[in-house]
Each structure stands twice: as structure tokens, then as C-alpha cells.
Amino acid sequence: MAAKLKSAVLGATGYAGFELTRILLRHPALQKPLLMKRETGSSGQDLAEAFPALSGNGGYPLEPFSIEKLKQSGVDLLFLATPHDLSRSLVPEIVRSGIRVIDLSGAWRLRTESHRAVYGFEDYDSKVAHEVMDQAVYGLPELHDADIAGAPIIANPGCYATSVILALAPLVRADLVDRSRGIISDSKSGVSGAGKDATPRTHFVSVADNLSAYGVFKHRHLGEMLEQLGLAPEELIFTPHLLPIPRGILSTIYVHLSHTMTAAEIESCYRKFFANRRWVRVFSPPRLPEIQYSLHSNFCDIGFCLADDGRRLVIVSCIDNLLKGAAGQAVQNMNVMYGWNEAEGLQ
């Protein structure tokens, strides 16, 4: 039997980090992952203290993070479920140590400086940061699996970005969208997409029985959509909304087609683009995806409705923001990196 891979997770106490840890614990090609915390000092804290659902299963100690500890433990692959600026500061040294990285933050997703400016990164060494950026691959396997396989750094996509890019890529790449008419994405996410630390916007009294828009024209995931789809800023309007549910994303996307088409032609375009892609499900009209269909799975569900004029198209795309939008996609990327079945550990 081949030796099992040794992985580690920094940031397992967050929502995405916890989901990631649960998947890694059951993955047949992995040893039990090393779980690490940002705080220095002694060991002793257990992940079950933050997530009692793990209680009684043998213990999941959280070790203080250090690159030396990673080396001593024989870690091959490190998952970062950490704040963007922390990932930005840690990755250069980790990569120099020979450890591969899958980063769930936005630290290495954006190549265009104007898009990256939304994060306000202050790199200690800009030359090193550019060198690391050149090695990073945007971790959307349906678009970049060949590059992911050999990459030292995978920049796991944002959750909103995943739902929108996968919905639009088949049409944009086939030049079927009239970009001069603009594209609109009206996207809605459950509260877990905002992270575990509560803010005034995410407190129960603010979210319950409510629906609110935020980050209009300024959301961090917009740059990913523009870069990956090759769109200019004026060609896409993206508006995110906060839903009063724990998890899940639904993006409703409005496009004008470059010429008159039939529903069968649209469906064929999607099915050819995603042929043999395990984690994208294309729905035949008139059926449309719903959040409940993709919850607790790594699927991106895509459906559409074509107007009678054959030119106006509404696309609906749904994912679980903590899985295909974060932890599940990270594991899918790992599977691609090591030549395993993309569904390994995710079924």
C-alpha cells in the first residue's frame, strides 16, 4: 500500500476550516491531519472544544503553528484557512521550505494590482510577493486542472466567484454573450459566508427575517470574476446579498446572447464544457437549481431559462459556500494535485 500523505490545517476552528478537517479525517489517502492554531505557546486546546460534534472520537489537539513543526511532522501539504493578510505573510516562507499550499483565503487569487488593492496588502518584500504570485494557480479545477496538478500554491477561489465563474465560463469562452449589453449577477449567500466572528451585520437580530445587499461594486470576489472570465469592469455588475440561512449560495445571472439561440443549443454548450466534470450538474430546462439541492455537497448546480426571443438568458447557479465554495473545493484541488480521483473523500 502506498504511503499516505501528511497534511496540516491552520485555521481549523473556523467554519470552512472545520468542514475541511472533517473531510480530511475521512480521506482514504491521508494520514490524520496535523491541526494547528495561530497562537503561540503550549499545546492543550482541542478542536472538540470549539466543535463539540467531534467529542468522544479520540481527540483533535491544536498545535501552535511553526514551520519547524511542519517539517518535523513530515507535512507534505498545508491548508490555510486563515485571514487574507496572514496567508499573504506566511506563504513565501512555507513554499521555500518545500511544503505545498492550498490557501482558502484571497491572498494569492488576484493578479491585477487594481483588483488586489481591495485587500490592502502591505507586503514586507514586494519582489518576493510577486515571485510567489507567479507560482500560484487559481484553484478552480473545472478551468485549470492541468496547471493545478504541478503547482506549489493553489489559491482556492472565493465562494461567490465559484458560483458565477462556472455559470458564465461556457458561454463567455464560446463568445455567446453580448458583452456590450452587460452582465448582471444577483447573488445571495447564507451567513456562514461572512466567517465565524460575528459583526453587527451578522448578528441574529440583524439577519433573521431580513434580506440585505452589501459590498455593491466593491466586493472582494468581483476581481476574481473579471480576471477568470476576461471581462472588463463595466461588463459585469455583481451584487451580493445576505440571506437569513446558515449556508448556501444562489446566483441569478442575466445575460444577452450575441445571437438568437435555442434552449437545446444552450444546454449542449454547458454539457460539452462540463463533460466528465464530476462536481458540476447541469439541469435541463425548465428545472432550475435550488440551494437545498447542493447543500452539504461539493456540487455546483447550473440551470437556465431562455426567453422566447432566444436572446435573453437567465442562469441560476447554486453551491454550498462552505464546500464547493471553500473546503470541498480545496480537497478537490488536492485530489487533482496528487493525481487522485476528484471525488475522493467528497462523496
Give Cα 95 distance to the centre of its chain. 21
- Residue of 159, 269, 300, 318 marked active site: 159
Euclidean distance between CA atoms 139 and 336, whole angstroms:
10
CB neighbours of 246 closer than 8 A, spacing ≥ 6? 190, 191, 192
For residue 346 the three cell numbers come to 467528497
Angle at 342 between CA 109 and CA 135, to 5 degrees: 30
Q: Measure the CA–CA gap between 49 and 217, rounded to whole angstroms.
A: 39
Per-residue cell: 107: 491572498
Q: Are the C-beta atoms of residues 191 and 245 closer than 8 Å to each other?
A: yes
CB-based burial label for 248 (10 Å; 0-12, 13-18, 19+): buried
Q: Find the DSSP H helices in the chain.
A: 15-26, 47-50, 67-72, 84-96, 113-116, 126-135, 141-148, 159-173, 204-207, 222-229, 263-273, 291-294, 327-337
Question: In 10 A of CB 245, how many CB atoms?
Answer: 15
Return the bridge partners of 240, or none: 187
For the question of residue 318 being annotated catalytic, the response is no
Cell triple for 177: 454573450
Q: Which of 60, 34, 36, 37 is nearest to 48 (CA)?
A: 60
Residue labelled with grid coordinates 466567517: 195
Q: d(Cα 226, Cα 234) in Å, to the nearest integer? A: 10
Q: Which residues are catalytic?
A: 159
